[in-house]
Amino acid sequence: MWCHWGGIRAGRRHGTSRRLPSPCKPVFKVIVEVCVRMPLAIMSAMDVEMELYLDRCEILRSTQRAGLAFHEASWHGHDLVLVRAGVGKVNAALCTQILIDTFDAEAVICTGSAGAVNPALDIGDVVVATDCVQHDVVVKFLGLPRGQVPFTDFRFFKTDAALRRRALAVDLPDHRITPGRVLTGDRFIEDEADRHQLREELEGDCVEMEGAAVGQVCAMNDVPYLVVRAISDHADGTSDVDFEAFMQEAARSSSEIVLSLLTAPDGDGPLSASGR
């Protein structure tokens, strides 16, 4: 369970305030805060990314929803829900809403690999998203900038600051961990011109196919989220060469950071474990 008593947000997701019957409070008005058990959700797009979590965590129960397998699990006292959502924005959005509605996820972390858009990034580097944007939402006839969802205020979906800070503090030997903007779209970028345009127009650092969809669903439900992506290729036409060679390592790096952030202390102390 991930529950902060300080600065906790109002709403059904973070507990309820119950007033005791009047005979129980003859002098004082008493309010009892009830902290509800809520799991942290970890989502990946592919089996190779999710298998590392399934191998390391204690799986308590598995259930099927909309053709997806959701695994309730435990990791060092933390309640988790693990799921392979499948590739693309629709799969990611569907899975995120199920995690929120069915499993009451306290936060959602999307993890896996990405292609580098920022030329300063190398294969093996890890990007912890500051925000995500849909690079394939282009509605020029309305005068909207790339990524702006029509008739909404949605464009850049900021990630949770506390989760982001913890991820950036993880010590992963031989890997550079850096904050950055994640670009999301239902298109595999493999052209140098496309990569350059996305870098210039959106100031993106890496590109993938799920993060901003998770971000929009979480924003609409007022649920924190984070995206952690390890660079597996350069999104420049050589992806067919790099992808197979570095996919497994990218999955390992991103999963190591996500599992480590759950127990790594920072200025606020470690994330609270189940029941505390």
CB atoms within 10 A of CB 171: 9
Distance of CA 48 to the CA centre of its chain: 17
Which among 96, 112, 121 has a CA at the least distance from the CA of 45?
A: 112
205 is known as an active-site residue: no
Residues 6+ positions from 155 with CB-CB distance below 8 Å: 133, 145, 147, 148, 149
Residue in 49, 131, 194, 210 annotated catalytic: 49
- The verdict on whether 233 is a catalytic residue reads yes
Q: Which of 194, 208, 210, 233 is catalytic?
A: 233
Task: Report helix, strand or coil for 157.
Answer: strand
Sequential DSSP letters for 10-62: PSGGG-EEEEPPGGG-SSS--EEEEPPP-PEEEEESSHHHHHHHHHHSEEEEE
Which residues does the annotation mark as catalytic?
49, 233
